Copies of this chain bind each other. A is one copy, B any other.
Amino acid sequence: MNTFRLIKQAGSARSAEFTTPHGIIKTPVFMNVATQAAIKGAVSTEDLKALECQIALSNTYHLHVRPGDELIRELGGLHRFMRWDRPILTDSGGFQIFSLAKLRKIKEEGVSFNSHVDGRLLFMGPEESMKIQSNLGSDIAMAFDECVKIPSPRKYVKESADRTYRWLVRSKKAWMQNVQEEGSVNPGQMLFGINQGAIFHDIRREHMKKIAELDLPGYAIGGLAVGETHQEMYDTIEAVEECMPKDKPRYLMGVGTPGNILEGVARGIDFFDCVMPARNGRHGHLFTKEGILNIKNEKYTREDLPIDPTCNCPVCKKYSRAYLRHLFKAQEMLAMRMAVSHNLFFYNTLMSEIRENIDHGTFEAYRINNSQKLDKRI
């Protein structure tokens, strides 16, 4: 069965449907980040449905450290644990090990590191990452990789990309064993490989060609949005995209602003995730069709309008800017929930607008109209 069905193309941009054990995802899609099996800002899984979220993303590293993937398996897997019946993608833990954990040591087998919670010494390699993700029972598991910081020396990037390839071969083997295991939490779990190579186009392309040969259900571009310029990121995506299978979904990890997403879609990307809507929301930065506003601004003190008068989210349908500003100034938790809810709805409906514009042949005009405007501070 081909799980990825292309519907329409507009240049490199594509709209499609991706079938998972927990339902069909319409792409391009933005995944809503539920790091520790919960969305930040007191947003519940019921809320997520009202916010038009198609797929949640949880973090292997965090859930392994706390509450533990064995516990989650025992309680029926992550879907049941967090009471979310739509698709879940889990990352591999690699990114968190390289960004959060202390005193890490990389070897061929994997990485030794200290937990950021209690300092306990842990080890994770491809087999461990795949086992944890199997215990969580996500619909999409990500291969274990090294996320190299930018800039890094070319020699190191090449060696790391080669090791990440060898880790992918081991990830694939472990994944295939896990899904066939008796009592597997999610026997339909799929594995996405991750392309690395910093901003060296030739390393990226060579790596992409090799991992494409492994014929996995999907492929991600990892290691971007970690310090390079937007233009360097876009150029790298273009260089890699030519080597990516056309009939598999592509996921640009950890990206980004609404403008970045539009530019990513224009370059053939189908999946996105980013902490930005939740993190910016918690600081009062709210996305609107006219740009990003700061609700703490004095000028909203007496405004009885919603955040975005054109928005149909549960917050904009009911509450005023003045009230939300008050909640922020008074440091009420409800402020966080409203801001995060609005921003996630904005991202999720941005994606449905993108899909519609691809389907109706108007994507290029839509991109030109919005790509700068949406990222502007107003």
The residues of A with any CB-CB pair to B shorter than 8 Å are 36-44, 46, 62, 66-67, 71, 74-76, 81-83, 301-302, 304, 314, 318-320, 322-323, 325-327, 329-330, 332-334, 336-338
Contact = CB atoms under 8 A, between A and B. Distances in A.
A66 B330 contact: yes
B83 A323 contact: yes
Given A83-B319, A302-B74, A319-B83, A37 B326 contact: yes
Given A42-B332, A42-B337, A66-B329, 5 more contacts: A37-B327, A38-B334, A67-B325, A67-B330, A75-B304
A83 B36 CA distance: 32
A76 B43 CA distance: 29
A302 B333 contact: no
Nearest to A326: B67
B301 A71 contact: yes
25 contacts: A36-B326, A36-B332, A37-B323, A42-B42, A42-B332, A42-B334, A42-B336, A42-B337, A43-B334, A46-B318, A66-B326, A67-B326, A67-B329, A67-B330, A71-B322, A75-B304, A75-B322, A76-B304, A81-B320, A81-B322, A81-B323, A81-B326, A83-B318, A83-B323, A337-B337
Q: 4 closest pairs, A vs B, by CB?
A: A42-B42, A42-B333, A42-B337, A38-B332
